[in-house]
Amino acid sequence: MSAITSLNVADFEARYPDVFNPSILKRFMPLIIGAGVVLYVIYCWWFFSIGTVLASGQWQRAEIYARDWVSYAIRTTVRMGAEGTTISYPRFSELGDNPKSDWAIKQGNDVTITFGTGKSLQITPTQVIATRGSEKLLVLIEPDGAKPQGALPDWASLKEDQVTVNFGFAGTADIIPERVVVSRRFFGWANFVFDTASPFWNKSLGEVASMIVSGERIKPEMSNAELAFDNIWYNSSWQHGDVWTKLLQTIVMAFVGTLLATLVSFPLAFIAARNIMPNFFANQITKRFFDFLRSVDMLIWALFFTRAFGPGPLAGISAIFFTDTGTLGKVYSETLENIDDKQREGVKSVGAAPVNVQRYGVLPQVLPVFASQALYFWESNTRSATIIGAVGAGGIGLKLWEAMRTNTNWHNVAYMVVLILAVIFIFDSISNALRSRLMGKQQ
């Protein structure tokens, strides 16, 4: 019996009609679903006019914004005139009040700006020579505009009287009559620890340490260590103090919200569980109450409490507390309904009081599960707390959103994202470790 004869085939077909001759609906179900999905996508394309929005999006900005996450640009202007060239920096430059740089050097009447190896600008009062690798571009400065000589390489462009030279990541330069505007880009975050107003700014770690340990008091009213901390905490461009306070608010919101929700939903779950509270109305009322709390979304609660308590973490705590009392209550009561009844019966049979039946017959079974679920919600609430913060319910969300809306502070966004990811990662690990200890290996 190694080959199937035609008789067998007919046999099989007769025996399993629904496999070989399924109904038309069943046969074309995948096709119908697929066609439905395609139609739906087309409908959404039209509904949101996705095509137009995507086409009118300013995608060239995406690269600039993404670059701003990890780098910063220093702007400088080189002015040319009859009296020679001068280098100037904007008033609030990253280089401080007295800016000096080793990439913009003035020698006599000429200025040389280097953009890394093989890339440079040589600026004299009448002309600019841009070098990128083996290619060179000579731009003559005339009163009616910058005049590039010869063919433009693909890294330079001419627009009216202005020549823009692009050195890739290292920066760009706009050559305009009488001045060259340079944007020189560097990796990293500028002035992350001390801002330019701080006396510790631009000092090496060793210098700062020796100033703190043995230096003279810079400000008579406080020690240097205090001053250093103060300078870091109130760093004007990074606002470490504010960011960390807001981050702590987010953490607190998730922690207190989840803990209170656990404490409140714990006794309520016993009332909602059918097998523990044999009263139909009490069960139903508690369960519908949980459903209500859960279905009125966290957002609604957040907006509601923001309006009531004013913006801040109290609103966030309340929102998480209300939503999660519902969710945890539901989960807890379902866990309680699935417990093994034998232990309860055992405790009941020796004549224990009702409270003791719950304490010794039920609690030991469910407590690890309850704790594990609470930990799980704590961890996921840390993520949600970031988002509801953006509507005003406290925490780092609003700060993050505001930093993004300015479109120029992407480095601050990157900083906060790194902090949030670190917090989520740490809490994730703690919660996972605790949960696997509570639940044993099977989780």
Partner 1 sequence: MSRANSTELTPEGIEIERHWQELASRRRAYSWLIGIGLLIAVTGSLWFANDSNAGKFFDRLPHFFDFAGDLVPRDGWEVWRALFDLPSPYFDGSLKFDYPEGRVYIFSGLYIPEYFYKMLETLNIAIISTLVGAFFGFLLCFLAAKNLVKSKLIRFAARRYMEILRAFPEIVIAGFFAAILSLGPIPAMFAVGIHTIGALGKLFFEVVENADMKADEGLRAAGANWFERVGFGIVPQVMPNFMSYALLRLEINVRASTIIGAVGGGGIGEELRLSIGRGHQAKTLAIILLLLATIIAVDQFSAWLRRRLVGNQAFAFGGKQS
**Residues of span 101-160 touching partner 1 by CB under 8 A:** none
Provide the minimum distance between the beta carbon of 405 and partner 1 in the complex, in angstroms, as a whole number: 7
Binds partner 1 (CB under 8 A): choice among 15, 47, 160, 205: 47
Binders in 218-247 for partner 1, by CB under 8 A: 245
Binders in 245-264 for partner 1, by CB under 8 A: 245, 248-249, 252-253, 255-256, 259-260
Provide the minimum distance between the beta carbon of 25 and partner 1 in the complex, in angstroms, as a whole number: 15
CA dihedral 350, 263, 434, 246 (to 10 degrees): -170
Q: Is 193 left (phi over 0), alpha (psi -120 to 50) or beta?
A: alpha
To which H or E segment does residue 306 belong?
helix 298-309
Sheet holding 84-88, edge to edge: 84-88, 71-81, 179-187, 171-176, 162-166, 156-159
Binds partner 1 (CB under 8 A): choice among 212, 303, 352, 434: 303
CA–centroid distance for 188 within its chain? 18
| Closer residue to partner 1 (CB): 225 or 367 | 367
Provide the minimum distance between the beta carbon of 196 and partner 1 in the complex, in angstroms, as a whole number: 27
Binders in 279-298 for partner 1, by CB under 8 A: 291, 295-298
Q: Which residues of 99-137 are buried (b: 16+ CB within 10 A; e: fewer)?
A: beeebbeeeeeebebbbeeebbbbbbbebbebbbeeeeb
Query: How do 119-123 and 110-114 pair as beta strands?
Result: antiparallel
DSSP secondary structure letters along 24-81: HHHHTHHHHHHHHHHHHHHHHHHHTTHHHHHHHS-HHHHHHHHHHHHEEEEEEEEEEE
> What length does the chain have?
443
| Closer residue to partner 1 (CB): 12 or 40 | 40
Binders in 61-90 for partner 1, by CB under 8 A: 61-62, 65
Name 117's Cβ contacts closer than 8 Å, sequence gap at least 6.
none
| Closer residue to partner 1 (CB): 11 or 297 | 297
Binds partner 1 (CB under 8 A): choice among 267, 310, 346, 364: 310
| Closer residue to partner 1 (CB): 198 or 382 | 382
Binders in 329-388 for partner 1, by CB under 8 A: 331, 334-335, 372-373, 376, 380, 383, 386-388
Name 374's Cβ contacts closer than 8 Å, sequence gap at least 6.
258, 259, 262, 328
| Closer residue to partner 1 (CB): 76 or 318 | 318
Binds partner 1 (CB under 8 A): choice among 12, 40, 169, 244: 40
Provide the minimum distance between the beta carbon of 291 and partner 1 in the complex, in angstroms, as a whole number: 8
Name 221's Cβ contacts closer than 8 Å, sequence gap at least 6.
none
Tell the burial category of 369 from Cβ atoms under 10 Å away from its Cβ (0-12, 13-18, 19+). middle
| Closer residue to partner 1 (CB): 10 or 44 | 44
Decide: is 22 part of the binding site for partner 1 (CB under 8 A).
no
Furthest-apart CA atoms within the chain: distance in Å: 107
Task: Give the 3-state secondary structure of residue 97.
Answer: coil
| Closer residue to partner 1 (CB): 37 or 285 | 37
| Closer residue to partner 1 (CB): 189 or 201 | 189
Provide the minimum distance between the beta carbon of 82 and partner 1 in the complex, in angstroms, as a whole number: 43
Provide the minimum distance between the beta carbon of 404 and partner 1 in the complex, in angstroms, as a whole number: 3
| Closer residue to partner 1 (CB): 104 or 320 | 320
CA distance 311 to 361: 45
Of 38-46, 169-177, 273-281, 343-351, the window that binds partner 1 (rule: CB under 8 A) is 38-46
| Closer residue to partner 1 (CB): 198 or 327 | 327
Q: What are the percentages of helix, strand and coil residues in the chain, rounded to 5? A: 55, 15, 25
Number of residues that bind partner 1 (CB under 8 A): 73
Provide the minimum distance between the beta carbon of 305 and partner 1 in the complex, in angstroms, as a whole number: 8
Task: Provide the token pair at 42.
Answer: 């087309």
Provide the minimum distance between the beta carbon of 211 and partner 1 in the complex, in angstroms, as a whole number: 32
Binders in 377-436 for partner 1, by CB under 8 A: 380, 383, 386-388, 390-391, 394, 397, 400-401, 404-405, 407, 413, 417, 420-421, 424-425, 435
Of 222-230, 278-286, 327-335, 348-356, the window that binds partner 1 (rule: CB under 8 A) is 327-335
Tell the burial category of 32 from Cβ atoms under 10 Å away from its Cβ (0-12, 13-18, 19+). exposed
